[in-house]
Structure 1
Amino acid sequence: MLQIGLACVLFAFAAPVIAFEFVVLGDMPYGDEPVIEEQYRKLIEHVNQENPDFVIHLGDTKSGSTLCSDEFYTRQKALFSIFTAPLLYTPGDNEWTDCHRSNNGSYDPLDRLKMLRQVVFDDSYFEQSAFLGLQSQGALMREFSDFIENQMWISSGTLFLLIHVVGSNNNMDSGTSIGEREFLLREKANQHWIHRAFDLLQEDRIHDLVVVFHGDPFVDWMMPQPSLMYSGFLETVGTALFENAKTTDKKILFIHGDTHQYTWNHPFFAAGHVRGNVSRLVVPGAGDMRAVKISIQRESDDYYILDMIE
């Protein structure tokens, strides 16, 4: 592991207290070759050695040019089980929205989404994460009973929010009426889940918020507004998340994948100023098969400590 350490000043100061640690990774494994899975298994082994409180996979558990077969989902579920810490997961576009491609098997994307939910989000998924007090939108909101993948929990005063936002324009451009209905209902579900999280963020017991999804909605970090790549992200990221983020000074961390290049910045502007309390992490992925360990250290100037795991 490549680690950025803090100098210890003996006798004078106590070391900052780490509230907890978790690991995020995404956009992997890409490819069916045995060497790719071997590399992925080795990374999982290194993650396990760090003994994090939990691990979050940000989606795209396959490349965009491999089959969306039933066997793929069961194989990825088996790989998830190798993590010794509880494994949380939010879907990516490669697992379902792109499955209509001929090199993916020309599947119906909504059929693959149904299969994904059945295989990954089974009883064992919620049993292994039960100690977190994890809540699923599908269980809490009858109107959105299908959205078991939208999750929320609190760890040591940090509120975690997982919402189903994917690449490929968030599946807005499916070209079918049933696909359009899926997009609109998922947008509505995501927005309700976001508003619930920001209501909780107002409580004194909640110190900060971590929002996790797959798709990368940003295209130019230098613009004086959150520059949105496609309108498929507008309502969830550009409106629900951005407008709510402007109402609080508490720390907010957005974590996503999709574009595979490690990035850390402050993407939101308001009244001409950077929202310094809002940070963004893009995890590496695809050919860059690394994970990121995040330590929450509230008493330090370095609120988030990031360590690469290779």
Structure 2
Amino acid sequence: MERGIFEAVRPIDSQSWALSTFLPPHGGGPLILAATNNGVYQLNDNKAVLIKETDARYLLASKADPARVYVASMDGLSSIRYVDGRWRDQGAIQGLTKQIDYLAEDGGGNLWAAERYGTLVRLHSQQITRFDTSSGLPHLDHLSIYSLANGLVFNTALGHYRFDSTQQRFIPDSRYGGRASLVEDPHGNIWMGRYGTQKALDILLKHADGSYEADSVSLKRFDQIPEVSVILPQSDGVAWIGAGKVLFRYDYRRKVEHPEPYQAMVRRVAAGRDSAIYYGTKAEGAGETPALPYRSNSLQFDFAAPYFIHAEGTQFSHLLEGYDPT
């Protein structure tokens, strides 16, 4: 790929749902896999090689079994294995026949699968356990699962939940605010993407003591976008952010300084269309309080602010004391 130019990876010509990085257990560079409507592909530079025919939706490189990659599809779950530099299809995992949208492994080696319309499934060895709203989950439609250093987080339509292995139930998890997709970057910071809210993108910065702090300034430039569907923070300090039909490249190595409190400045006041009565400073010899006739009670104010991050998004408001529009 030439610098700054996106090129199609052939022969993929169908919807691509997910990408996954696979590290061969016996050495070698990372392999990039793609889940598409036509199958699972391995990407080699600008070309793709089909390694499994299926309507794939999600890929998960197993940590418990490093040579294995789970493949979620429209009709259940299967897996492929990397052996001696080649991929081998291990076939379908019995007992799962519904569309699966998300996969995640917990610290105990359990595999969790979120079905599109149905239940949440946990697999351990050959044992399948199903969970529904009777297990503490408030909602099951469009359930997603996110793997963080602190464990798995289950994202429902009514907020985040985590699994209590002692009670074998799901309990609310308020650590990351309301409903949001969660991505942990290589530095331990947690990115949160939302849909249909006034704050589509947030980040929690991780400190050395393990605590988190919300960064309310760095991402203010994203406040105007309606949704964030994909967040891909990389180890080089660059994050790719998918928002509807727009793709952003954000360099989060460039720190944004938190501004000191500031006041808006009145740059100009005009009565009517043309009569300027103030130009940012009082003229020499001018009285302290200007007096205007009643017919000039409609004033126009021009403001400025010493804040230059996404300056076009700064909004001002004013109130005329005693002004009655009726």
TM-score w.r.t. the length of structure 2 is 0.26
Greater helix content? 1
Instruction: Select the structure of larger CA radius of gyration.
Output: 2
Using CA pairs under 8 Å that are at least 6 residues apart, name the structure with larger relative contact order, 1 or 2: 1
Greater strand content? 2
TM-score w.r.t. the length of structure 1 is 0.27
